[in-house]
Structure 1
Amino acid sequence: MSQLMNTPEAAEYLGFRPNTLEVWRCHGRGPRYCKLGRKVVYKKNDLDSFVTANEVNTLDSYCESSGGGRR
């Protein structure tokens, strides 16, 4: 099983405050989480997937990945 983190640990990993994750949970947003009784935990791979899903490609990053470079 992947590493489990509580809300403060997950927030630190993502660079947010714990309150941000709590608000996102209330609004049905943010990374996937698990409820174990009353305890909320996040899987590290779910946090990584959340970051990947929110990547924004810029024109420069597209040119770099396609080998085109800047002109």
Structure 2
Amino acid sequence: MNVKWLTAGDLSERWGIPAPTLAGWRYQGKGPRYMKLGGAVRYRLEDVEAFENENLIGADR
């Protein structure tokens, strides 16, 4: 299985939001699923895409 992982910086750039916002969301239990390995936060691309799809607003979702 070939899994694509994103760093918090990658996701920050993808969404155009500050990395500290993502850190706040993790603390609050919001945002996409993530994993921590030795303090390093990683997001699976498939979880990010699922989160994006779940949060689409509009009639054509």
Structure number with greater Rg is: 1
1:48 counterpart residue number: 49
CA shift, 1:47, in A, is: 0.8
Deviating 4+ runs (over 4 angstroms): none
CA drift of 1:49 comes to 0.7
Which piece of structure 1 moves more, 9-18 or 19-28? 9-18
CA deviation after TM superposition for structure 1 residue 44, in Å: 1.0
TM-score (norm: length of structure 1): 0.73
Query: Which structure's relative contact order is higher, taking Cα pairs within 8 Å and 6+ residues apart?
Result: 2
**Equivalent position SS for 1:42:** strand
Q: Any stretches of 5+ residues in structure 2 without a counterpart?
A: none
> What's the % identity of the aligned pairs?
32
Q: TM-score, normalization: structure 2?
A: 0.84
Where structure 1 has 5 or more consecutive residues not aligned to the other structure, the ranges are 63-71
